[in-house]
Amino acid sequence: MIEVKNIRKGFGDKIVIDDVSAVMEAGKCNLIIGSSGSGKTVFMKCLVGLFKPDSGHIIYHGDDFTAMDDKQRKEIRKEIGMLFQGSALFDSLTVEQNVMFPLDMFTDWTLAEKKQRVNEVLKRVELVDTNKKFPSEISGGMKKRVGIARAIVLNPKYLFCDEPNSGLDPQTSLVIDKLIKELTLEFNITTVINTHDMNSVMEIGDKIMYMYKGKKEWEGTNKEIIFSKNQRLNEFIFASEFLRDAKDMRMLEQAGKIDENRNMDDMIK
């Protein structure tokens, strides 16, 4: 679990994160949504220690990350897996070498032990027989899987994903979302995901935080978001007329005002 208490972060005179508090639970996909420039990336960078908040606290499983020295912080970082936007694989390394990278950095295992662990995680993300391939030889969806394999190879307690579906088609996005959700549950990981993808919000949003101009404007689950009366949130999510109609339809359905066996022709009339 990660507890964020009243963090603030600014650059010069500009306040970018304004008194945000949140609780991110283990075994759940905690999503951060918001329009461009609302502060999602800066918030995530504060959580992983890439930015130091100006004030406030970030508590990892009871320990105050913001009050730690570099050595203690490094210990927490070992427990963090990161899936970067665009997968961020090393082009000159094979799939196996990419996934092995964190093991080279943080363990003193033998090569045989490392290879065994790499094979375990590649199997888990359903990427067998790709060990010797280079990133340029595999598809975008496969690259994401390699990124996920690398992110989980050290058995992280925390997983941070920045736009995990960027550049993927809707079906492949769904497969990646499901994989992240499964791993989150299977290993009881506290997963934090920055996303613009509304499919992900609805599919895997156990907990969603909506940011607006650096503040937490709304939070809730994927079940609650559809019924939210927060005007800014609604304008953000249901940006198109099509989505607004779909929402109205869903609400009528929930209220039992639409017959499940309705005839499409009748509806069009």
User: How many residues sit close enough to ligand ATP to count as binding (CB under 6 A)?
Assistant: 10
Tokens representing 151? 């992110």
Helices (H), 170-221: 170-186, 198-204
Write the single-letter amino acid at 130.
Answer: T
Of 42 and 183, which CB lies nearer to ligand ATP in the complex structure? 42
Of 27 and 56, which CB lies nearer to ligand ATP in the complex structure? 56
Contact (Cβ atoms closer than 8 angstroms) between residue 33 and residue 201: yes
User: Residue 51 Cβ, how far from ligand ATP at the closest point, in Å?
Assistant: 8
Contact (Cβ atoms closer than 8 angstroms) between residue 19 and residue 46: no
Of 32 and 99, which CB lies nearer to ligand ATP in the complex structure? 32
User: Residue 164 Cβ, how far from ligand ATP at the closest point, in Å?
Assistant: 13
Q: What is the pattern of x (binds ligand ATP, CB under 6 A) and - over residues 23-62?
A: -----------x-xxxxxxx--------------------
Contact (Cβ atoms closer than 8 angstroms) between residue 175 and residue 164: no
Pairing label, strands 14-24, 2-11: antiparallel
For ligand ATP, the binding residue among 16, 122, 142, 225 (CB under 6 A) is 16
Of 43 and 60, which CB lies nearer to ligand ATP in the complex structure? 43
Beta strands in the chain (DSSP E): 2-11, 14-24, 28-33, 55-60, 63-64, 80-83, 158-162, 190-194, 207-212, 215-220
User: Residue 33 Cβ, how far from ligand ATP at the closest point, in Å?
Assistant: 9
User: Residue 20 Cβ, how far from ligand ATP at the closest point, in Å?
Assistant: 12
Give 66's DSSP letter: G
Of 51 and 135, which CB lies nearer to ligand ATP in the complex structure? 51
- Residues within the interface to ligand ATP (CB under 6 A): 11, 16, 34, 36-42
